[in-house]
Every structure is written in C-alpha cells, then in structure tokens.
Amino acid sequence: EPEVTQTPSHQVTQMGQEVILRCVPISNHLYFYWYRQILGQKVEFLVSFYNNEISEKSEIFDDQFSVERPDGSNFTLKIRSTKLEDSAMYFCASSEAGLDNEKLFFGSGTQLSVL
C-alpha cells in the first residue's frame, strides 16, 4: 500500500535555530496536512494545504511556521526560530480529493527535540 514518508525520524536542534521537516505525500493525493503531538497531549491540527496554498491553519501555526511544496513530491514544514515548546512529534498527512478526503494517510512522524 502507498505510504506517506517523513524524514528525519528524529531531529534535535538548539533553541532559536531553524528546522525543516520533510514529507513525501502519496503521489495522487491533493490535500496535505501537518499535525503535532506534544508528549502526553492531544494530536493537534496545524495546517492544511491544497492547490499550492494554505487552506486552513490553527492558532498554533503562527508566523514562525511555514509550509511549502517545493516540487511535485515534497511537502515541508519550516519552523524559523524554534522554541522549547515546539518539541513534539510532527505528523504529515495527505488525502485524496472528493469524498475520499475523509481518509487521511499519516506518516510515522518526526520527533523534534528543541534543547
């Protein structure tokens, strides 16, 4: 079965540094998402992306965050100046168009640790 691929699986960075989390969604999917889960808390929606633009974002997704689809296969999440509280598991997801967009396919996540 096709799958969403995320790299790296673990990322350690210093506070204030920029990080880019990478995702390769399933090739025929049109909707892309980032979610995150801080340890012990709920999985939280960050952003959805469709037709090369952000279609919805949460209050978490402030100016420090950005997303990009630089080519036909990758979907990235950039955090410009990381804070300690950005430490979390970040999940990328994708879905098809139409009624099947209710089924999200998730990657296995990138564990981001900000020191």
Which of 11, 22, 26, 31 binds other proteins (CB under 8 A)? It is: 31
Our CB check for other proteins shows the closer of 62 and 102 to be 102
CA distances from 46 to 1, 2, 94 (A): 26, 24, 13
Asked if residue 62 binds other proteins (CB under 8 A), the reply is: no
Structure tokens at 43: 């999985």
Q: Provide CB contacts within 8 A for 70, sequence distance 6+.
A: 76
Asked if residue 101 binds other proteins (CB under 8 A), the reply is: yes
Q: Which stretch binds other proteins (CB under 8 A): 1-9, 10-18, 63-71, 75-83?
A: 1-9
Asked if residue 107 binds other proteins (CB under 8 A), the reply is: yes
If you search the block for the tokens 């090369």, which residue do you land on?
Answer: 52
Instruction: State the nearest-atom distance from the C-beta of 26 to other proteins, in Å.
Output: 11
Structure tokens at 91: 């999940």
Pairwise CA distance, residues 5 & 51, whole Å: 20
Pairwise CA distance, residues 99 & 88, whole Å: 31
Interacting residues toward other proteins by CB under 8 A? 3-4, 6, 31, 33, 35, 37, 40-45, 48, 50, 55-56, 91, 93, 95, 101-109
